[in-house]
A and B are shown apart, each in its own frame.
Chain A
Amino acid sequence: MPAPSPTAEKLYNFSKVCEILDKHDRLPSKIIPILQEVQEEYRYLPEEILTFVATSLGISPARVFGIATFYSHFSLEPKGKYIIKVCDGTACHVKGSSGLIETIERELNLSEKVHTTPDLLFTLETVSCLGACGLAPAVVINDKVYGQVSKKQMKELIAEYRAKED
């Protein structure tokens, strides 16, 4: 299948937002699932889409902004193609997740403030618990779970995902 043109993609996206809004009957109470689905579509919450959603639902844009910034799942900036979630739950922490985080930050030149690489390939997130304590330390890249990850393995994983793009 050929890659869709940017025009087609934008049109598709807009009709998608309307579809999402309709699916939830434009109920202001459904703002969270609506934003979740919008984010799924765009990988983040663009400002103009949020304003559009606010207008359509009859909620003030300030309130929508407040909701979008409260929940950690929502991002107002574009996220990377690969989202690396490092579990920093108790078990993973005890088993060295902070070392993994340091390794990733070094490898990808990220910091506590910068979570996404400039090429929009990787985003680093820490999560409180993936519920995979038996596999501590655990890392999830997009939907794939990696257990008992060592620093060395982490570096290899990053290289592997990078290689996919070349």
Chain B
Amino acid sequence: MGTVVLEQIKEDVKNKKECLSHSIVICAGTGCIANGAMEVHAALSSIIEEKNIPLTLTLKEELPETGKDPLLLSKSGCQGFCQVGPLVTIEPDNILYTKVKPEDARDIIEKTILQGEVIENLLYKDPSTGDSCRSQQEIPFYTRQKRTVLKGCGNIDPENIGDYIYNDGYKAAADIILNKDPQEVCDLMKESGLRGRGGGGFATGRKWELALKQDSDAKYIICNGDEGDPGAFMDRSVMEGNPHSVLEGMIIAAKACKATEGQIYVRMEYPLAVDRINKAIEEAREMGYLGKGIFGSDFDFDIFVMEGAGAFVCGEASAMTESIMGRRGMPRVKPPRTAEKGLWGKPTVVNNVETLACVPLIFNMGLEVYKNIGTSGSPGTKTFALTGHVANTGLIEVPFGTTLREIIFNIGGGVLNAKGEIDNDDFKAVQIGGPSGGCLIEEHLDIPLDFDSLKTVGAMVGSGGLVVMNKSTCMVQIARFFMKFTQSESCGKCVPCREGTRQILELIDDVAQGRGSQETLTLLEELCETVAESSLCGLGKSAPAPVLSTLQQFRSEWDAHVDEMTCPTGNCKDLVSYSIVAEACKGCTACVRVCPVDAISGNRKEAHVIDDAKCIRCGACVETCRFDAITV
């Protein structure tokens, strides 16, 4: 029965879509909302109302009967290019407007919708060529990507299951629930070669099979949405933008390992994701895709949402199960593995959001097609959060095997120097994989990014954070930043992680504050190794990675901190002093006014001086000086 109903819904949505005059899709990801997307939405609706244009806000309900084709004004999930948001797409004309303000609403309705006119100054301009791009397909940021998992985030109404079904949603799940047996599903998944996107890259099919083989009255699927890596937000985008794809992935996983219940563990910092997922679950229940006898079969499966309460370590599978059971989220020793004894002591599969969202895609496009994307060891695509000193920041998706050069210089549009100009020679390093990952440099730019190749150079795909750094970045400070993060997120259970990460931080501070020596660096390396090898869980084991990796790639920079007591990039405040170049100073007193500690003195139109003893090296003066007269 399931598939027939699906076809009907699809047909229904299709018919409705054909009746529309236009649809205006406003990106309502967190980034665009912060940039004012909701205000734009409100402005558009009021103009539409003023113009008496028949309007519908969702395709869920019946279209208004006015004799005229209505206009659809809908909100989508994050489209990835947050930097130029709010984004407004107009279909069927395939126009993408960027940085839209509420004031632009009138023009959009009057010119584009009513007259079919393109508003030139709302189009994206390629900073390298200066050309305007009319649609997503013309923007290099998008054209060089392969958006599969993220595709739905831009063009599906996340709050309308019908729209998801219209895009072939739940087709794979219905087929699998009705026609396949669990082992078959595991086999297919193994054959697809899908590997977990959460960090380790464990084969998803094998994980499912392991759980399937466990004999138990209850089994659980947990969707790990506790994305906590600083600088990664792909899971949030998927949960917000295409929540049904996650549910469908879970349903398929449930069939594969005969699970009875699913849990989605979402970070509390993602209220919109929680909201969208909850709505999606409600819709799926109403449709009979969750609950008792799903898709008309005799298979029962339901999903519940648990909001995290603010602990990064809960991203670790055993800590997450502890947390769901109402305990302190402290990882426990393995064995038994979570797949054997997890939630409530029952076999439990923990899959990451992106992994689960890949699952229906694989079945929809077919195994063979999927396997041809990416590399043989790492098939498919991977989303990355591209941030830092790069022209285009945002969420991107590329096939495995894409090089960093392609990502940074083409999709990312190049490296930004300290002044904010594109300057590819200013590339210093890219940090990949968040606090568990490592730094890659110039020589690594051409290695194909996949699970295995990254391991050979001491980095990991991790959750997919990509932070580009220019030459003004101090690697000691970067190591410190990540260390500080893991240290403050350590659960405090095992000695090496609890005590070790704290002491690593102290040693880095010694280096950064001029108290270090080569002995400090030796001790630091030794301590990092002990923490890496003796910690209880993955968080502790990978905690020293950013330190070890920068020590390896940027040894001379570390050496300079301890041998010459200088910070080559001038970032370590205790190793630098600020001074004013008398010849360049015009005596405008701007710096005097911004200095929070009154460390700058001097008469108007005369060269100023900085009192080094008072100076707290906050850098406010440098930012203010229009004559580049302050040197570090």
Question: Which chain A residues have a beta carbon within 8 Å of chain B's beta carbons?
Answer: 27-33, 35-36, 66-67, 70-74, 88-91, 93-94, 99, 102, 106, 127-136, 138, 143, 145-147, 151
Contact = CB atoms under 8 A, between A and B. Distances in A.
A74 B309 contact: yes
A135 B328 contact: no
11 contacts: A28-B326, A32-B323, A33-B306, A36-B307, A99-B619, A129-B229, A129-B230, A129-B231, A131-B236, A133-B231, A134-B395
A138 B227 CA distance: 17
Nearest to A125: B310
A33 B327 contact: no
B516 interface: no
Contact of A66 (B35, B231, B270, B328): B328
Residue among B35, B329, B469, B482 with the highest chain A CB neighbour number at 10 A: B35
B500 interface: no
Nearest to A68: B309
A32 B30 contact: no
B393 A91 contact: yes
B200 interface: no
Contact of A29 (B82, B326, B596): B326
B233 interface: yes
Contacts of A146: 34
Contact of B30 (A91, A127, A132): A132
A127 B473 contact: no
B148 to A, nearest CB: 21
Contacts of A145: 30, 33-34
B271 interface: yes
A10 B514 CA distance: 55
Interface stretch (B112-120, B155-163, B381-389, B537-545): B381-389
A33 B489 CA distance: 21
A147 B467 contact: no
A94 B311 contact: no
Contacts of B42: none
A133 B233 contact: yes
A30 B30 contact: no
Given A90-B465, A99-B619, 15 more contacts: A32-B323, A70-B329, A71-B308, A94-B467, A94-B469, A106-B596, A128-B229, A128-B230, A129-B233, A131-B237, A134-B31, A134-B387, A135-B31, A135-B83, A136-B393
B370 interface: no
Contacts of A106: 596
**What 7 A-B pairs have minimum CB-CB distances, sorted nearest first?**
A134-B82, A131-B233, A90-B231, A71-B309, A89-B230, A145-B34, A91-B387
A31 B229 contact: no
A134 B83 contact: yes
Contact of B230 (A27, A32, A90, A99): A90
A73 B309 contact: yes
A74 B323 CA distance: 14
B481 A32 contact: no
B173 interface: no
B245 interface: no
Interface of B: 30-31, 33-35, 81-83, 85, 227-233, 236-237, 268-271, 306-312, 323-329, 385, 387-389, 393-395, 431, 434, 465, 467, 469, 473, 481-482, 485, 489, 491, 596, 618-620
Given A90-B231, A91-B467, A131 B326 contact: no
A32 B311 CA distance: 12
Contact of B232 (A67, A71, A94, A129): A129
Nearest to B330: A70
Contacts of A127: 269
Contact of A32 (B81, B326, B469, B482): B326
A138 B324 CA distance: 30
Nearest to A133: B387
B253 to A, nearest CB: 23
A135 B236 CA distance: 15
Given A128-B489, A147-B34, A31 B326 contact: yes
Contacts of A102: 618
Residue among A28, A67, A130 with the highest chain B CB neighbour number at 10 A: A130
B233 A135 contact: no
A76 to B, nearest CB: 13
A131 B324 CA distance: 23
B310 A67 contact: no
Given A94-B469, A135-B31, A89 B85 contact: no
Nearest to A147: B34
A89 B389 CA distance: 14
Given A31-B326, A70-B328, A89 B307 contact: no
A128 B388 CA distance: 16
A110 B270 CA distance: 26
A89 B326 contact: no
B231 A91 contact: yes
Contacts of A99: 618-619
A129 B485 CA distance: 11
A135 B29 CA distance: 12
A146 to B, nearest CB: 7
Contact of A90 (B227, B269, B387): B387
Contacts of A134: 31, 81-83, 85, 387, 393-395
Contacts of A130: 30, 269
Contacts of A73: 268, 308-310
Contacts of A32: 306, 309, 323, 326
Contacts of A28: 326
Contact of A129 (B228, B324, B491): B228
B507 to A, nearest CB: 20
Contacts of B34: 132, 135, 138, 145-147
A131 B269 contact: yes
A70 B227 CA distance: 18
Contact of A88 (B35, B230, B324, B385): B230
B393 A35 contact: no
Contacts of A70: 311, 328-329, 491
Contacts of A31: 326
Residue among A29, A99, A127, A128 with the highest chain B CB neighbour number at 10 A: A128
Contacts of B469: 94
B229 A30 contact: no
A157 B323 CA distance: 36
Given A73-B309, A133-B231, A133-B233, A128 B485 contact: yes
Contacts of B491: 70
Nearest to A91: B387
B328 A94 contact: no
Contacts of B323: 32
B326 A90 contact: no
Contact of B387 (A33, A88, A94): A94
A67 B327 contact: yes
